[in-house]
Amino acid sequence: MKKDDENVGKALDKETTRRGFLKGAGAAAGFVVATTAIGGIRPPLAQAQQPKPVMKYLFVERQNCTGCRACEYACSMAHEGVVRPAASRIHVRKYKGIVDVPVICHHCDDAPCIAACPLDPPAIRKDPETNGIILDSETCLGSNCLRCQEACPAQFIRVHPDTGTPLMCDMCGGDPECVKACAQQATDPLAPCLWAGAGGAGVNMSFRKVTPDQAAKDLINQMYYPNTDGKRR
Amino acid sequence: MAAPKGGYFGRILVIDLTNRKTSERKVSDDDFRKYIGGCGMGAYLLYSALKKGHDPLAEDSPVFIGTGPLNGTSCVSTRMSVVNKSPHTGLLSHAEVGGHFANEIKWAGWDGIYITGRSRKPVMLFIKDSEVKFIDARDIWGKDTEESEELVLREVGDPDAKVALIGPAGENEVSFAALIVERSRAAARTGTGALMGNKKLKAVAVRGTRAVPTVDVKKAYRAMEDAKKLAVEREGWQGIKRYGTANLLEMKHYGSGSLITKNFQTTWWPAIDNLGAEEAARTFWKKHTACSNCPVHCMKTGVIRGGKYDGLIAEGPEYETGGLLGSNLGLTEFGGMMACIEMADAMGLDAISAGGVLGFTMECVQRGVLSAKDLDGVDLKFGNADAAVEMLRKIAYKDGKAGKLLARGVKRMSEEIGKGSEAWAVHTKGKEIAAHDPRGDKGRGPSYAMGTCGGDHHEGGDPKTLARWAMINSLTICSFVGGYPWGKETPKVFIDMLNPLCGWNMSDDEYWTTAKRIITLERCFQVREGVRRKQDILPKRFTTEKLPEGPKKGAVYTEEDTRKMQDSVYAYFGWDDDGIPTDATLTSLGLDFAMADMQAARKA
């Protein structure tokens, strides 16, 4: 009898079971993805392995976003030292109360923001190690210029409420805080909507062309079919 | 009277709609520490601003939208509390609502918005940090909440702004109209929508760019992170993550025998299988939605595919909306229930009161007291979803004889109809009650009968829980996060966050004393309006009719239960035998300013 109880106890110990699964599957997993209950995509399992590789790109599975803004909280904590979503780099936009669109930097390989900077050398550069976009706030012309903001195809760039300089995503040195915050929010039944990868796989270059407004339209169309305009009736 | 060091900005935005002027009301750290914020601060402001018998719809009647110290910090899921004298009950009422609106108020540098006066023309407000704009809202007036929100966002030109607004029900001053926040969340049960409609205030949009001042950032954020871990780890809340509160529909039917059914005639409704969480998860829900920083994401939206309501996008069902506008109306089909819920949201109605009114009317029809002839030809029978949807629209516009009648609420309707309908008029203190039958779930009895507002399911099932709720609603925190508001972690988990945030040295004792102060002050307001022991009761149906079937068959809320509940609450909070706070209690809580009113009430 006693032995049975012990076995039941072990089977119920979720923590152990789950970790074991990760260890076993992680090595061979690579880019294995799993579909969740509502159809989202889980991030690569390899993420849990040590040592952590430097992440160079952000990805987003918009269907999974709950609009909780934990990413904004984490981003402003990391860069401003306080919770201040208005100064967060990443931001989440809500449409019609039914879809949420996280707006991220795609760390484009051709970086239109850097190309648009009128200064020589530009006030914006890309860290070759982490792919993070770094702004030199000393030389940046700030609110007098903002050509980088116009050039960003994803409409990611906002300006700092105090200084007026553009808010750029520096990938937090290769281990983005927003991604970690999203993972903490997204325990079952929902997978995270944000994740990071070491390679862009070209997806970032194609994904960036989708503006938040367009993304919202796509999401409504995709999730709320047959009601393709999202109007409640 | 020092200004707050952290957690608060120390200022409340005062809006005078009559003169289109704004000003700033300074609030000291002492006052915040005494009343915390949210519903506690609201009770304090309204107690001093209003006299006995003040008309809730008078020009100078205030609406207070209050935040708490934790709003805008990394604390999980902070909400807001809307406090006003309800035109529905004539009593002090508070409504809590989630979303992001409250945090935007805080980030704009305010601890709350205090709105008085009355505009001549429809107007809306856009608050961006310290700047307040009055914007003409004549083009938006008359539109439902969906269209209005789109128009408001376009008008203010800031896609990151958050909006709270009223629908046609508020514009037409239906006394149970709600304030709708971010399209689907309702600050209801207070008649705030009617007040705003009376003030011709269609919407408030807020956008803030600041950060909340914090005394010891490292310590405070550490404590908030620890609290969040509790929220993430608690298995008990996994059901809420998956199903929202909708799975309570099944639970209260099969388990606790307290599912409101057909205007409280029974709690057994087998058709709940077609209305509940499993049906929603299987056929309807497409998305989870969360409040600020919350890992619980209890709100769900979805779309109906196929059938009569093909393409209907709606938010819900939650337990209350699904109960009141589902099993309460005898509905058996999911699409019809969602159509009712969406209609209530679109019109800006309080789904609980609206459901109570419809259930009461349907029972009147069942018992032959009313007929389709009295109801503008609408066949309002139990089970007729289409009729219910049509009637919700008529209530919001006070359309026809039926719309005008139903917009009055259950209490006044039964007074007007007579013919014995008081027997099934289910309300406490004039307010329709929420979806938990107190015969099956006795803990809801005190919440409905003893809670400040009346008929409210979120007030607490015993004296200590009433105190817990007072703090939750004043800190404006959500009760779902990890369950720690209920567990042994309270008050430690809150005090650990508050002390480094605000620079306080609050103790456990002070926490509970603060709770008692807030409840007692609210009680003083209600006593001043005439509430005594004889109003602290449940509707007759619960004390006289036994549950006919279901897991709690035969249960009844006895007179004895009622007396015990009243005595225990009065004793715990230090109120006298008639429920009036004693002089000694008032002095010990620092509420001497209410003493004269209470003495006068005792003589009256």
Q: Is the pLDDT of residue B247 over 70?
A: yes
**Cβ contacts (< 8 Å) between B234 and chain A: which residues?**
none
pLDDT band at B488 (very low <50, low <70, confident <90, very high): confident
Dihedral (CA of B388, B394, B395, B396) sign: positive
Q: What is the arithmetic mean of pLDDT over A178-185?
A: 93
User: pLDDT at residue B452 above 90?
Assistant: no
ipTM of the complex: 0.94
**CA B308 – CA B305 distance, rounded (Å):** 9
Q: Kindly give the interhelix angle for B508-528 and B492-502, rounded to the nearest 10 degrees.
A: 90
Tokens found for residue B492: 């430690």
**B56-65, B325-334, B480-489, B570-579: lowest mean pLDDT where?**
B480-489
State how far the Cα of A143 lies from the Cα of A159, in Å rounded to an integer.
8
Residues whose CB falls within 8 Å of the CB of residue B146, separated by 6 or more in sequence, listed in order: A96, A97, A231, A232, B183, B346
- Residues B568, B569, B570, B574, Cα dihedral to 10°: 110
Q: What is the Cα–Cα distance from B276 to B255, expressed in whole angstroms?
A: 14
**Is A27 or A92 the better-scoring residue by pLDDT?**
A92
* Cross-chain CB nearest to B286 (options A69, A100, A224): A224
Contacts of B324 (CB under 8 A, 6+ apart): B260, B351, B352, B354, B355, B356, B359, B434, B435
CB pairs under 8 A between A and B: 128
Q: In this complex, which of A66, A212, A230 lies closest to B288 when CB atoms are compared? A: A66
Cα–Cα distance, B275 to B295 (Å, whole number): 26
Same domain, B255 and B384: yes
Lowest mean pLDDT among A21-25, B63-67, B97-101: A21-25
In a domain? residue B312 = yes
Q: Are A154 and A57 in contact (CB under 8 A)?
A: no
Percentage above 70 pLDDT, chain A: 78
Provide the 3-class DSSP secondary structure of residue B34: helix
B399: domain CATH number is 1.10.569.10
Question: How confident is the model at residue A48, as a pLDDT?
Answer: 53
Look at chain B and report how many structural domains it folds into: 3
Chain A residue closest in CA terms to B107: A84
Answer whether residue B108 is part of any domain.
Answer: yes
Q: Using a CB–CB cutoff of 8 Å, tell me whether B308 touches chain A.
A: no
Are A82 and B311 a contacting pair at CB < 8 A?
Answer: no
Mean pLDDT of B468-484: 88
Q: What pLDDT is stored for residue B487 in this prediction?
A: 82
Give the number of other Cβ atoms within 10 Å of residue B452's Cβ. 25
- The amino acid at residue B145 is T
Distance (Å) from the alpha carbon of B577 to chain A's nearest alpha carbon: 47
Q: How far is B343 from chain A (nearest CA, A)?
A: 9
Whether chain B has a CB inside 8 Å of the CB on A45: the answer is no
Average pLDDT, chain B: 95
Question: pLDDT band for position A30 (50/70/90)?
Answer: very low
User: Is B73 an interface residue toward A (CB < 8 Å)?
Assistant: yes
Q: Does the pLDDT value for residue B507 go beyond 90?
A: yes
Distances (CA, A) of A37 to B242, B260, B311, B523: 10, 30, 21, 47
Interface with B, mutate which of A88, A232, A233 (most B CBs under 10 A): A232
pLDDT, position B482: 67
Nearest to A124 by CA among A136, A107, A138: A136
| Per-residue pLDDT at B451 exceeds 70 | yes
* B208, B232, B311: residue with CB nearest A187: B232
Measured in whole angstroms, the distance separating CA A174 from the mean position of its chain's CA atoms is 13
pLDDT tens, B7-37? 999 999 999 999 999 999 999 999 999 999 9
Q: Scanning the structure block, which residue is given the tokens 């509390």?
A: B81
Picking from A80, A64, A60, the residue whose alpha carbon sits closest to that of residue A172 is: A80
B153 in reach of chain A (CB within 8 A): no
Instruction: Say if residue A29's pLDDT is above 70.
Output: no
Q: Does pLDDT of B222 surpass 60?
A: yes
Specify whether B178 is located in the same domain as B158.
yes
Sequence-ordered list of residues with C-beta below 8 angstroms from that of B199, at least 6 positions apart, any chain: B17, B63, B115, B117, B118, B119
B232 with A232: Cβ contact below 8 A: no
From CA A215, how far away is CA A211, in angstroms rounded? 6
Q: Which residue of B has its CA nearest to A76?
A: B211
- A225 and B303 within 8 Å at the Cβ level: the answer is yes
Under a CB-based contact definition with an 8 Å cutoff, are residues A78 and A177 in contact?
yes
- Is the pLDDT reported for residue B46 higher than 90? yes
Helices (H) and strands (E) in chain B, counts: 25, 17
Per-residue pLDDT, A233: 64
Whole-number pLDDT of residue A206: 85
B286 and chain A in contact, CB less than 8 A:
yes
Judgement on whether residues B304 and B401 belong to the same structural domain of the protein: yes
Give the pairing of strands B201-207 and B123-128: parallel
Residue A31, pLDDT score: 36
Cβ neighbours of residue A71 closer than 8 Å, sequence gap 6 or more: A88, A90, A92, A102, A178, A179, A181, A182, A194
Of A68, A93, A212, the CB nearest to B292: A68
Mutate to test the interface with A, among B229, B233, B303 (most CBs of A within 10 A): B303
Examine the domain organization and report whether B306 and B405 are in the same domain: yes
The pLDDT of B45-55, averaged and rounded, is 96
Confirm if B549 and B437 have CB atoms less than 8 A apart: no
Same domain, B138 and B189: yes
User: Three-class SS of residue A12?
Assistant: helix
Spatial distance between the Cα atoms of B225 and B504, rounded to a whole number of angstroms:
19
Q: Are B362 and B284 in contact (CB under 8 A)?
A: no
Task: Work out the widest C-alpha separation in chain B, in whole angstroms.
Answer: 67
**Mean pLDDT to the nearest integer, B518-522:** 97
Give the integer Cα–Cα distance in Å for B30 and B514.
12
For B150-206, write each residue's pLDDT tens digit.
999 999 999 999 999 999 999 999 999 999 999 999 999 999 999 999 999 999 999
B160 interfaces chain A, CB cutoff of 8 Å: yes
What number is the average pLDDT over the span B67-89? 95
Per-residue pLDDT, B484: 77
Above 80 in pLDDT, residue B327? yes
Using an 8 Å Cβ cutoff, are B486 and B223 in contact? no
Measured in whole angstroms, how far is the alpha carbon of residue B263 from the centre of its chain? 20
**Could you tell me if residue B4 is inside a domain?**
no
Any domain includes B577? no
B405, B464: one domain: no
Nearest CA distance, B376 vs chain A (angstrom): 24
Q: Identity (one letter) of the amino acid at B294?
A: C
Using a CB–CB cutoff of 8 Å, tell me whether A83 touches chain B. Answer: yes
Average pLDDT for B412-418: 96
Spell out the residues 6+ positions from residue B109 whose beta carbon is closer than 8 angstroms to its own: B9, B11, B129, B130, B208, B210
pLDDT, tens digit (0-9, with 9 covering 90-100), for B360-370: 999 999 999 99
- Closest partner residue to B293 (CB to CB) among A68, A91, A190 is A68
Domain boundary (B207, B225, B258) is at B207
Q: Do B11 and B111 contact (CB within 8 A), yes or no?
A: yes
Cross-strand partners of B206: B127, B162
- With beta carbons under 8 A apart, name residues in chain A contacting B284: none
Which of B402, B432, B462 terminates a domain? The answer is B432
pLDDT value, residue B5: 96
Interchain CB contact of A144 with B (< 8 Å) = no
CA dist., res. B582 & res. B301, Å (int): 48
- Classify domain A31-223 at the CATH class level: alpha beta
Report yes or no on B260 lying in a domain: yes
**Is the predicted pLDDT of residue A19 greater than 90, yes or no?**
no
pLDDT at A49: 53
> Domain containing B526 — which CATH number?
1.10.599.10
Q: Report the candidate in B113, B222, B184 with the shortest Cα–Cα distance to residue B349.
A: B184
- pLDDT, residue A37, reads 38
pLDDT at B23: 97
pLDDT tops 70 at residue A34: no
Tell whether the model's pLDDT for residue A120 goes beyond 80: yes
Q: What confidence tens digit (pLDDT) does each residue in A128-146 have?
A: 999 999 999 999 999 999 9
What is residue B593's three-state secondary structure? helix
**Under 8 Å between Cβ of B204 and B80:** no
If phi over 0 gives left and psi between -120 and 50 gives alpha, with beta otherwise, what is residue B189? left
User: Do B241 and A190 count as a contact with CB atoms less than 8 A apart?
Assistant: yes
pTM of the model: 0.92
Tens of pLDDT, residue by residue over B344-356, are 999 999 999 999 9
- Alpha-carbon distance of B269 to B250, in angstroms, equals 9
Are A209 and A99 within 8 A, CB to CB? no
Domain holding B563, by residue range, is 444-475+507-571
CA nearest to B87, candidates B200, B192, B197? B192
CA distance B436 to B355: 13
Question: Which pLDDT tens digit goes with each residue over B375-413?
Answer: 999 999 999 999 999 999 999 999 999 999 999 999 999
Half-sphere exposure of B56 (CA within 13 A, CB side): 26
